[in-house]
Every structure is written in structure tokens, then in C-alpha cells.
Amino acid sequence: MADDKTTHAQHDTTFPFRLPAMPMFGAEIWKQAAEAWIGRVVAMTEEATKVESLGADRARAAIDGSARLARESLDYTLNLSAEWRKLMMESVRQALGGSTPTKQG
């Protein structure tokens, strides 16, 4: 069996140049970028809250308007029905020659 040192080539893993040292410079840039990003996220969520509140106000107004319309429609229908009954009774009176029909009960 062959010796491991003789069968495997030795590789030089050192860089041919050195990178300049940047101890705090890089960290400060990342910190500033993170703070700026957080500021934008806060502004975005505040704006989303405003838009959500506006949408809720509009939905409430639409619900109130629909409820008002439903109440007015119900009142109109009840008034129309009462008027129809009055007209029907008047027509019956006229058909009977002015006499009032008696209640059955």
C-alpha cells in the first residue's frame, strides 16, 4: 500500500493577496441599512393602519346607509299597504252603496 503523503498532491490554500481589514466600517453600514429598513417598515405599517381605518369607516358608512335604506323601504311598504287597504275598504263601501261592512269574527 502506498503512503498517503506520496499519493496525494499538496495544495496551497493561501490567497495570493490580502483583503484590507474593515473592522467597524462594514458593521456600521449594515447597522445603518437595517435601521433605514426598519424605518421604512414602520412607515409602511403606519400607512397600512391609516388605509385600513379609512376602509373600515367607509364600510361602516355603507352599512349605515344600507340599514337606513332598508328601514325606509320597510316604512314605505307598510304605508303603501295601509293605503291599499284604505282604498280597498272605500271601494267596497262604494260597491255596497255606502254601507259599512261588518267585521267577521
CA angle (51, 57, 61) in 5-degree steps: 145
The pTM of this model reads: 0.50
Residue 80 has pLDDT above 90, yes or no: yes
CB 73 within 8 A of CB 81: no
Residue 69 has pLDDT above 70, yes or no: yes
Residue 17 has pLDDT above 80, yes or no: no
What is the tens place of the pLDDT at every residue in 30-58?
889 999 999 999 999 999 999 999 999 99
- The Cα-based distances of 65 to 1, 37, 39, 44, 49 in angstroms read 94, 42, 39, 31, 24
pLDDT at position 26 is: 73
Residue 13 has pLDDT above 80, yes or no: no
Average pLDDT over residues 7-26: 56
